[in-house]
A and B are shown apart, each in its own frame.
Chain A
């Protein structure tokens, strides 16, 4: 069969190679070449040709370079799996390492280092040492990388032989730039790994690598390096912290022309340096954004689709960080016909981010065109984008018109997405209900099939039962088809909607309610059953009680919960020019632990405060709103079911005696214990609500200060106005702070910021001003300090149109001021990052 014929072929090859091994007749090299090629091609497609090892090595005594190189390739591939055979190659490789031709020396040394066989390491040390001292640059280049290979096979032998020190010397002095580049790769990797072995030495070595002399020596010859090595150098430079701003400017001047490179990797590496150098200089940082805009846009459109994607992902990150700076460039983010879906998706998000009062009309018009697109995924995303823009804006007038047009298109997926959008819109702008209801009323419920859209429609029917005369009748239709409804989500939503309608229009809906509850109680889905049971019991307690729980007065949602915390966003920004930007995830989320290395592991503590910080971003009250009352209910449902199970021995099913509906399953007989049973479960439900609030961070002041910061703030600092004034007058300004808010548009009034500050233990003393400029006086107190001291006072001026903010910080204890400044900045930058 196939395997047999292959075996035969291998045996044949073996015999031929053996025959040729000692032959010196003319033309033998050509025959050997053909045989070698065959072997290599088998190797490539994954056939194991390691059985030919000794024959291949025997034939390798040749001066023909083509043959030699194929043999090196073969040996490198199989040596690790056959260490005993690999020994056979040592002899000729070592000999080649002393060849007169530098290229052969280099090739042999590279093969020798690539064997990856531990017990052959002793043969490596000598050639490697002389390789690093070779007069030829190519050999040294190979040797520098060889050191790293040695380190991976035998770390201690590498360090014991002082190889890293030799690399360090070459790093600063070698005339060949590629040698320097390879030293840099090798040293970075070695030092990173050495942290496990001797942390202190490794830390010192790493610091040395990032020291001024090293950085300057690299920067001064940046143009000698290949474009790839330039990227490597720039990546290093981005980690260097200059001593003052003059130094930063000099570095930027040197690197300015790197922004005009045709290679996007060089440009992005340079941009990372610029961004990191200016991170604490708000105005310069902004200028950097302006400067890098044009080169980035050129790169986006000059390369292949793949390169476009890599560059656009980075532009996307910048746009989302500072949308205001890109609001005039929106046309560049319009989708092109030829863009692949992954590029279009990024562009849609960017369009959403940069939409503001002046460009919304045009952006939404453009997005509406995509809604009619043949590419369904993009059509859906476009409608979602319109929805997100509507939620950001105050004038949704025009957008409501678009919605009407979407529904007119009569495409199922467009209608579905639009309904979801309208629902979200209504939760934020209840005042638009009249216009939206008109739109929704025109939708035929039969064309709505997707669960998400159905849920949205049902929610609106329940919520706006007053404004929609036929709401109960539409719902009735849904309830009649209860059995056919596959989605539990829709059935849950139906229960809530019917109950809500019952509060508003009882005579028309009482029958339907009974039908829904009994269908719900009989439902196989646990959550549906539990919700029906909860409503039923609540109603037993009285309609008012039930209404208070099921349909409490709602506040409009002002900010929808963000999916990503600002801390995560900052981490991604720190990892600019890496895969983190493409995945929109910090590296700890997608890399294996062992790969990340020990240094990054210590940073992992940052994961711990993640839970609370997500909640921190949004004001607690808003969060409750944003998660909708049905989330509230589903969480309490679960609690309730637990309670029911835990005292299951008493459980005797629902008591239907007091309830008008007779259609509910008469599963129970009234027992004396049932009343107390009901109260205990509803009490459990009530307490569970409290638990739920805890879950959302309502009472989590003690965890809301991220553990990352050395300074802890007191939970309830108290400072009367006079004391504040006195202190403000007495204390000198300890520090000032400039910061650009990530989304100033979310600050129409000072209140959101005040609430945000308060949720982070910074209290407000006074606020004032008129849009776009607001002024605040904040105060906070260090934890563990006596009641009258340890205060920090802050005057903050915010311009809401530019997002630029300026703070003056005063402190009772000036030594704590820097720590507070750091904390304050963190709190401030986490504001409104949606």
Chain B
């Protein structure tokens, strides 16, 4: 093989298939001259460690030996006692005595990297996130317990994912041949019922709860592997209503996520809405008064923008709106998208705040579930900050209320109303009577609110983006793996101003 890299003949032959090729290559003074200096490369971490929320070291790996071993302690103290005007949380990136600490929170654990150089923060944070995800792929469940039980396996993974501080391969698939430890599987039943598996549960349409918590390497107790693939459409919605109930801003941030347990790397074709449009919206401010009556919010799905996983081929995207890929093992996002097109908000809230005498006030909240009656929202929680002078709150739930709880947090003066389930089309009302310590201020309305809301709605998606089909190229006639397409909508920032 030719080695002399300064020879142009070698170069042009190597370059030829690319669009760059039509350029005559001339070296010497021109090409590299005046180039800016090379600094330390873009990514290099000194240490990686995982801490529990109590600050215990669960995994600790030193790659370069240029940061003190007590870094985990320094980091934890800094995060725990983060200085700030009023008790803010520590940012994901900070510097203490020349050492940069980068961390992500994941499953109640802190994944941390330290470095003395100036890397790309996005790269290090993405890497930490990826380490967490790959670890989850192997352990099935990621939490402190599973990590402690499997730390040797985690070291095996870390050895291959990072060498001398530089990221190497992080694909769940590619790492398989380097992992020799059998995962000790933690009992999935012990995960709280609102864990990732339960997120999709809708009525009786149950999907096997163990599937999403299955390790990619663990052997099934039954001895044979179940051939299945999951495609999840997860949408996080952000809506802000003004005091008159109009939508001020709204956005959907969606992810199509895949988790494949298919053997033999078959090709999969994921078909989306045929009339899907991407990125034609101008960035000009739009009219924020949606018109639902004419029903034009149904139909055409217009995304502002989207991005795709590396493995996705877009050959059929322009023509058929289909994504083609050979899914790698493990969980990964096929596509992320963002939409600011108007959509129908799943919940409407009608707050009434009134004074009832000099030391009394009343807050009445009505929630309407604006979706079909065969759909049920889970864990609907409303939080309402009350006036600072509130000393006591008494609640009155509607008659026959089931699975509803109320709470008033004295320290923050926040009322919390939790409904375990809300069926589509129903209304619910809460009345809260306040006792105030001072005579009512000028404007009690200004002092209560804004109301914020969190919820999860399985089998519902606000954008109307759909997976129309999921084709798996068949190896044999009898090959018919299980395919699961699941939808879920969650509140990201759902705010009703008062």
Contacts and interface: CB of A to CB of B under 8 A. Distances in A.
Contact of A210 (B32, B118, B120, B335): B32
B99 to A, nearest CB: 9
A826 B51 CA distance: 47
Interface centre among B15, B106, B120, B151 (most CB of A within 10 A): B120
B76 interface: no
B88 A341 contact: yes
Interface string B167-198: 11111000001101100000000000000000
B122 A311 contact: yes
Given A169-B5, A297-B305, A342-B88, A590 B95 contact: yes
B264 interface: no
Nearest to A223: B310
A70 B181 CA distance: 11
A66 interface: yes
Contact of B120 (A268, A583, A600): A268
Interface in B80-118: 84-86, 88-89, 91-93, 95, 98, 100, 103-106, 116-118
Interface stretch (A224-232, A429-437, A729-737): A224-232
A575 B105 CA distance: 27
A232 to B, nearest CB: 5
Contact of B18 (A141, A219, A377): A219
B201 to A, nearest CB: 23
B42 A235 contact: yes
B476 to A, nearest CB: 32
A336 B4 CA distance: 56
A307 B105 CA distance: 11
Interface centre among A73, A232, A306, A334 (most CB of B within 10 A): A306
Contact of A582 (B18, B56, B93, B309): B93
A172 B31 CA distance: 17
A37 B128 CA distance: 24
Given A220-B20, A262-B336, A600 B117 contact: no
Contacts of A212: 11, 25, 27, 31-32
Interface stretch (B268-276, B367-375, B441-449, B481-489): B441-449
Contacts of B14: 172, 216-217, 220
A306 B103 contact: yes
Given A228-B127, A264-B122, A342-B91, A216 B105 contact: no
Given A40-B151, A306-B92, A149 B164 contact: yes
A213 B492 contact: no
A457 B65 CA distance: 55
A408 interface: yes
B119 interface: yes
A214 B35 CA distance: 14
B336 A302 contact: yes
Given A213-B25, A220-B14, A310-B125, A298 B306 contact: yes
Interface string A318-332: 000000000011010
A65 B182 CA distance: 12
Contacts of B6: 208, 211, 213
A570 to B, nearest CB: 13
Interface in A205-250: 206-214, 216-217, 219-220, 226-229, 231-232, 235-236, 239-241, 243, 246-247, 250
Interface string A379-390: 010000000000
A301 B234 CA distance: 13
Given A148-B164, A301-B253, A599-B39, A377 B89 contact: no
A210 B305 contact: no
A409 B446 contact: yes
Contacts of B5: 168-169, 171-172, 208, 213-214
A717 to B, nearest CB: 31
Contacts of A243: 26, 30-31
B122 A307 contact: yes
B43 A232 contact: yes
A338 B492 contact: yes
B33 A207 contact: yes
Contacts of B30: 243
A77 to B, nearest CB: 8
A309 B38 contact: no
Contacts of B255: 302
Contact of B95 (A70, A334, A583): A583
B478 interface: no
A142 B166 CA distance: 12
Nearest to B413: A374
Contact of A597 (B19, B39, B119): B39
Contact of B304 (A219, A220, A294): A294
A375 B86 contact: yes
B129 interface: yes
B103 A334 contact: no
Given A145-B164, A310-B121, A410-B441, A220 B17 contact: yes
Interface string B156-171: 1001000110111111
A337 B39 contact: no
A260 B23 contact: no
A599 B36 CA distance: 10
Contacts of B35: 206-207, 210, 239-241
A228 B43 contact: yes
Nearest to A166: B3
B43 A69 contact: no
Nearest to A405: B446
Interface residues of A, number: 136
Contacts of A227: 310
Contact of B412 (A70, A374, A592, A596): A374
Interface in B393-450: 412, 414, 441-443, 446-447, 450
Contacts of B44: 185, 189
B121 A334 contact: no
Interface string A96-131: 000000010000001000101000000000000000
A192 interface: yes
B289 interface: no
Given A263-B126, A297-B305, A579-B121, A69 B15 contact: no
B279 A294 contact: yes
Given A46-B69, A262-B336, A269 B120 contact: yes
A595 B18 contact: no
Contacts of A208: 5-6, 32
A254 B20 contact: yes
A253 interface: yes
B119 A579 contact: yes
B60 interface: yes
Interface string B39-64: 11111100000000000111110100
Given A182-B166, A269-B120, A299-B307, A44 B151 contact: yes
Nearest to A293: B283
Contacts of B119: 578-579
B88 A297 contact: no
B37 interface: yes
Contact of A269 (B23, B42, B62, B177): B42
Contacts of B60: 44, 46
Contacts of B39: 192, 587, 596-597, 599-600
Contact of A302 (B41, B171, B253): B253
6 contacts: A66-B180, A220-B14, A241-B35, A264-B122, A307-B125, A334-B249
Given A210-B38, A299-B307, A599-B38, 5 more contacts: A66-B152, A103-B178, A172-B5, A409-B446, A587-B118
Interface of B: 1-3, 5-6, 8, 10-11, 14-15, 17-20, 23, 25-27, 30-44, 56-60, 62, 65, 69, 84-86, 88-89, 91-93, 95, 98, 100, 103-106, 116-123, 125-129, 151-152, 155-156, 159, 163-164, 166-171, 177-178, 180-181, 236, 238, 240, 249, 251, 253, 255, 279, 283-285, 304-310, 333, 335-338, 385, 388, 412, 414, 441-443, 446-447, 450, 452, 492-495, 497
Closest 3 CB pairs of A and B: A336-B493, A265-B123, A228-B167
